[in-house]
């Protein structure tokens, strides 16, 4: 009886909970599908808790206090229009919804119908992913430019056993500037597009890759670098070009 009780207590206190067991290795590992983990659905709460109420969107600071949306040039969205996309839980399609990506707050906004006034946000967790405007959004852990551990939405543009290349879309807020002299230029506060690249090697956690030729080449093992350099030269690839990076990493997965 005591032995049975110890087994039950161990199961209660040490078994992983349904929301905590999905680390990066499981969300982006060797058994991955195109939309996240391949683990079967075991908890309907994943579907029920797929969306949550959104918080405040605008918190920009101006000279006179907080700025309103109309005071800022540009948009926080990659595409302001809601378009029909697909939501996935553990690699299983669960729902078609209208959505758009808020690249400033790193958030997927959802609507059940195009004319609906209610907007919610997809819960940020590796079990949830979506396809939107031809891109696949995964919520993953990654290492940023300064070596910090972060979590956010990454979009794979090359998927391979050796290398997976991700892009992260962002909107960066830049304060306005008032001209101090007639010769100076002034500009309003605005949101600028920014993209970052992340690489997963052998299905490990993605890390930041600077879009610079020497930095890109250093990703690959020394025995492959000569072939990589030759390919870059022959194809006249540019490290900062989205399509050129796609071609390079597609080639690298064949080595």
Q: What tens digit of pLDDT does each residue of 95-121 get?
A: 899 999 999 999 999 999 999 988 888
At 14 the pLDDT is 31
Q: Which residues of 72-82 are buried (b: 16+ CB within 10 A; e: fewer)?
A: bebbbbbeeeb
**Is residue 20 over pLDDT 50?**
no
At 96 the pLDDT is 94
Last residue of a domain, one of 171, 190, 209: 209
CB atoms within 10 A of CB 19: 14
* Helices 242-252 & 222-235 angle (0-180, nearest 10): 140
pLDDT band at 138 (very low <50, low <70, confident <90, very high): very high
Q: Are residues 175 and 133 in the same domain?
A: yes
Task: Name, in order, each residue with C-beta under 8 angstroms of 251's C-beta and a sequence gap of 6 or more.
Answer: 228, 231
Domain-embedded: residue 95: yes
Q: Are residues 102 and 176 in the same domain?
A: yes
At 177 the pLDDT is 72
pLDDT band at 42 (very low <50, low <70, confident <90, very high): very low
Mean pLDDT confidence for 18-36: 40
Q: Are residues 101 and 225 in the same domain?
A: no
Task: Name, in order, each residue with C-beta under 8 angstroms of 12's C-beta and a sequence gap of 6 or more.
Answer: none
Domain-embedded: residue 155: yes
Q: What share of the chain is helix, strand, coil (3-state, %, to 5)?
A: 20, 35, 45
Domain-embedded: residue 7: no
Q: Are residues 33 and 125 in the same domain?
A: yes
Q: Are residues 159 and 244 in the same domain?
A: no
**Is residue 6 over pLDDT 60?**
no
At 18 the pLDDT is 34
Q: Are residues 78 and 188 in the same domain?
A: yes
Domain-embedded: residue 6: no
Alpha-helical segments (H) within the chain: 2-14, 24-27, 45-48, 213-218, 222-235, 242-252
At 22 the pLDDT is 34
- Tell me what percent of the residues of the chain surpass a pLDDT of 90: 55
Q: Are residues 152 and 226 in the same domain?
A: no
Domain-embedded: residue 4: no
pLDDT in tens, 143-193: 999 999 999 999 999 999 999 999 999 998 888 777 666 666 677 788 899
**Is residue 137 over pLDDT 50?**
yes
CB atoms within 10 A of CB 173: 16
Q: Please give the Cα distance from 115 to 235 (Å, whole number).
A: 47
Domain that holds residue 53: 15-209
Q: Are residues 77 and 159 in the same domain?
A: yes
pLDDT, mean over the chain:
79
Domain-embedded: residue 3: no
Last residue of a domain, one of 209, 228, 244: 209
Q: Are residues 226 and 245 in the same domain?
A: yes
Q: Are residues 227 and 162 in the same domain?
A: no
**Is residue 10 over pLDDT 60?**
no
**Is residue 32 over pLDDT 60?**
no
**Is residue 255 over pLDDT 90?**
yes
Mean pLDDT confidence for 53-66: 55
Q: Tally the domains of the chain.
A: 2
Domain-embedded: residue 10: no
At 169 the pLDDT is 97
- Tell me what percent of the residues of the chain surpass a pLDDT of 70: 70
Mean pLDDT confidence for 84-101: 92
Q: Are residues 49 and 117 in the same domain?
A: yes
Q: Are 129 and 136 in contact (CB under 8 A)?
A: yes
Domain-embedded: residue 8: no
Mean pLDDT confidence for 68-87: 86
Q: Are residues 47 and 24 in the same domain?
A: yes
């Amino acid at each position: 009886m005591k032995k049975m009780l110890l087994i039950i207590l161990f199961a209660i206190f040490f078994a992983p909970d349904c929301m905590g067991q999905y680390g990066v290795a499981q969300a982006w590992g060797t058994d991955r599908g195109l939309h996240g983990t391949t683990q079967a659905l075991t908890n309907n709460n994943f579907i029920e808790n797929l969306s949550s109420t959104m918080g405040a969107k605008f918190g920009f600071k101006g000279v006179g206090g907080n700025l309103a949306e109309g005071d800022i040039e540009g948009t926080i969205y990659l595409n302001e229009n809601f378009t029909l996309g697909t939501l996935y839980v553990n690699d299983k399609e669960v729902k078609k919804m209208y959505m758009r990506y808020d690249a400033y707050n790193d958030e997927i906004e959802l609507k059940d119908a195009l004319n609906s006034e209610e907007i919610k946000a997809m819960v940020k967790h590796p079990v949830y992913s979506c396809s939107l405007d031809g891109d696949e959004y995964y919520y993953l852990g990654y290492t940023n430019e300064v070596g910090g551990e972060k979590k956010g939405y990454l979009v794979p543009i090359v998927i391979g056993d050796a290398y997976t290349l991700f892009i992260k879309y962002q909107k960066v807020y830049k304060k306005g500037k008032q001209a101090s002299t007639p010769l100076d230029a002034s500009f309003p506060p605005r949101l600028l597009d920014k993209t970052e690249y992340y690489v997963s090697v052998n299905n490990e956690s993605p890390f930041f890759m600077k879009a610079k030729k020497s930095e890109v080449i250093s990703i690959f093992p020394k025995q492959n670098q000569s072939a990589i350099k030759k390919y870059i030269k022959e194809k006249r690839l540019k490290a900062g070009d989205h399509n050129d990076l796609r071609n390079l990493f597609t080639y690298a997965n064949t080595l």
